[in-house]
């Protein structure tokens, strides 16, 4: 009597024979699910292909994986030690990434990027599996590292603070053959800046934060727009060192004195009353005043007649002949009486005479 076959049981061997699994080769794309995420590697369940291994450098900085995530990966080696499949997430998305980024560049759309590292030249970015660069020169006023003396270490320190921070940017240049991808934050905010420029006018008082102090003045972030307070516009006093008057991180109110293409020219001193104008009001031509010698030069001497007002007595007004030597007539810090010859308020100058 013939033995009856059990048609209800299906063996693994029969399944493999009926549905053979394709042999993986280098370059294949496979799908899987993350089962373990460790410091230097990620493990992926590839179903019938077994387990796949992705080492950290092949994950890509733009991937933030967690257990349970579905991923598409490229096979680097179909069988390594232990029978695992060596995978790359970066390589899987790179070809598709170039096409997507080219489309974004052509459309001019703004995108959000998160730098994964920095060097002294700018920020390193990875997007769609492709590594790119955002140069320091393309950062907006909000993020540009204004550093005294352009100290490279301090610049790098400032840039490091932007790592993993979201930045709105545009693709400035893309070239697949040269493996070049350049981003610009300035271009992404340009339209917003132009709208803000239209709402501003010379003479307006604006609020901002000092982003850097340099030898020739101070840079100020005014609602995303860069402003410059030149050293001559910091104070009504004679300013030798801007950092004596203003500090990075300080909030200020300043008056707009010029609007350029991408920058505001600002004045801090013009938000305050000019002490020179205030103190010169009591004086008039012909008055006799007492002053203190503050500087002696070959062409005369400078005389302080009030805390904010300094006047000049020219060598020709010392009395006697023009061969008079100011250094023989004056001593620093001594007090003398003078006659006011002229007051030029527009030029903020007062001329004195020692002649009686």
CATH number for the segment(s) 276-353: 2.40.50.140
Q: Where does the chain hold its CATH 2.40.50.140 domain(s)?
A: 22-92, 108-189, 200-271, 276-353
Residues 133, 184: Cα–Cα separation, whole Å: 9
Does the predicted TM-score (pTM) go above 0.85? no
**Residue 119 near residue 155 (C-beta atoms within 8 A):** no
CATH topology of domain 22-92: OB fold (Dihydrolipoamide Acetyltransferase, E2P) (2.40.50)
Strands laid side by side in the 122-127 sheet: 111-113, 167-175, 180-184, 130-135, 122-127, 117-119
Q: Quick one: CATH architecture of 108-189?
A: Beta Barrel (2.40)
H/E element holding 264?
A: strand 263-267
Bridge partners for 229 per DSSP: 218, 266
Q: What is the pLDDT along the chain (356 residues), one digit of tens a residue?
A: 334 444 445 554 554 455 566 789 988 889 999 999 888 899 999 999 999 999 988 886 656 788 999 888 889 999 998 899 999 887 777 767 788 899 999 999 999 999 999 998 999 998 877 889 999 999 988 898 887 667 788 889 999 999 999 999 999 999 988 989 999 999 998 888 888 888 899 999 999 999 889 889 999 999 888 899 999 999 988 899 999 999 988 999 999 999 987 789 999 999 988 888 889 999 999 999 999 999 999 999 999 999 889 999 999 888 766 567 898 889 999 999 999 999 998 888 999 998 76
Put residue 333 in one of left, alpha, beta given phi > 0 → left and psi -120 to 50 → alpha. Answer: left
Residue 26 is given by DSSP the state T
Instruction: Work out whether strand 225-230 and strand 263-267 pair parallel, antiparallel, or are unpaired.
Output: parallel
pLDDT at 276: 87
pLDDT at 7: 46
pLDDT at 95: 67
pLDDT at 85: 94
pLDDT at 63: 63
Q: Which two tokens stand for residue 210?
A: 């000092």
pLDDT at 273: 86
CATH superfamily for domain 200-271? Nucleic acid-binding proteins (2.40.50.140)
Q: Rounded to whole angstroms, what are the CA distances from 235 to 204, 226, 272, 340?
A: 18, 20, 9, 26
Q: Which two tokens stand for residue 66?
A: 């967690």
């Amino acid at each position: 009597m013939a033995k009856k076959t059990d048609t209800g049981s299906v063996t693994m061997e029969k399944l493999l024979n009926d549905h053979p699994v394709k042999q993986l080769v280098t370059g294949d794309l496979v799908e899987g699910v993350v089962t373990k995420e460790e410091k230097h590697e990620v493990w992926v369940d590839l179903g019938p292909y077994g387990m796949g291994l992705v080492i950290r450098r092949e994950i890509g900085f733009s991937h933030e994986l967690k257990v349970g995530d579905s991923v598409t990966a490229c096979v680097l080696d179909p069988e390594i030690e232990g029978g695992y499949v060596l995978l790359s997430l970066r390589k899987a998305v790179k070809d598709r990434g170039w096409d997507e980024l080219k489309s974004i560049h052509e459309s001019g759309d703004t995108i959000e990027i998160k730098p994964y590292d920095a060097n002294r030249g700018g920020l390193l970015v990875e997007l769609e599996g492709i590594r790119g660069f955002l140069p320091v020169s393309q950062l907006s006023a909000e993020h540009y590292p204004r550093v005294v003396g352009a100290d490279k270490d301090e610049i790098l320190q400032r840039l490091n603070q932007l790592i993993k921070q979201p930045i709105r940017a545009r693709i400035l240049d893309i070239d697949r053959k040269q493996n070049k991808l350049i981003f610009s934050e300035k271009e992404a905010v340009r339209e917003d800046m132009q709208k803000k420029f239209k709402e501003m006018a010379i003479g307006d008082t604006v609020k901002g934060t000092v982003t850097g102090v340099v030898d020739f003045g101070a840079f100020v972030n005014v609602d995303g727009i860069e402003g410059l307070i030149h050293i001559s516009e910091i104070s009504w006093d004679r300013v030798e060192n801007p950092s004596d008057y203003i500090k990075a991180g300080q909030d200020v109110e300043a008056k707009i004195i010029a609007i350029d293409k991408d920058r505001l020219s600002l004045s801090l001193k013009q938000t305050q009353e000019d002490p020179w104008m205030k103190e010169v009001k009591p004086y008039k031509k012909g008055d006799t005043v007492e002053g203190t010698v503050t500087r002696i030069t070959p062409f005369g001497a400078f005389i302080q007649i009030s805390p904010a007002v300094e006047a000049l007595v020219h060598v020709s007004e010392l009395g006697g002949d023009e061969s008079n030597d100011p250094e023989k007539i004056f001593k620093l810090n001594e007090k003398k009486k003078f006659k006011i010859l002229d007051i030029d308020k527009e030029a903020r100058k007062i001329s004195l005479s020692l002649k009686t």
